[in-house]
Structure 1
Amino acid sequence: MSFSVANSVNSALLSGTFGLQQASKGITQASFDIANRAAHPRDTTDVLADAAKQQLRQPRDLLSGLGNKDNLTGNLLSLQNNLNYAQASSKVIGVAKDLVGNLIDDIA
């Protein structure tokens, strides 16, 4: 039984750590894209031209454009999703830490 618990704790720690690393990469990328967008503002003519093009497109085309890296809304959603992923991963690590602590207390 201890072998099973040890593997489960290791798996939880690895999953939590990997999750935090991936979330950190996602947060970094989304933040970079947002900052890059702010550093290179578009002029009013380009914004209005893009707005006119979007109004003429089919709804299907608009929805498929949500994944575009130039989309501020997509970057903000990515930032929030990665934040949630990081919080969930840190909870996994916390539960594994508590489990190890309880096991040590039970052994002692």
Structure 2
Amino acid sequence: MGSVSGSTAGELLAREVCQVLREVTFERRTMTKLSQASWDEIYAGHFVVSVEGWRISIYNNCDTLDYCEECVSPDGGRWSFGAGDRFGTDPIALLSTWEHQTLERLLKAL
């Protein structure tokens, strides 16, 4: 990807957040849970994880990986669903089917 970031002071792009999640699915980055409850215990609600300093809130919709609510990068850049890219494109929607299934499995294992 190179060192060029699409964000300046503040806003992240959905594709930047997607790349972090994609790296988790390929085991290039480590994801840890910040939520007190497990994925199964939340069932329907926000599940917060950390990916090497990135704080990502993911919506668990009845035990199914639904969408990314918000992400804050280590340098303070922010992406949120409400203020996201046009038409509400969220980082999880940019994942392939395999990446989506793998990420969901990894979330359930935390």
TM-score, normalised via structure 1 length: 0.23
Report 1 or 2 for greater relative contact order, CA contacts < 8 Å, sequence distance ≥ 6: 1
The structure that is strand-richer by fraction is 2
The structure that is helix-richer by fraction is 1
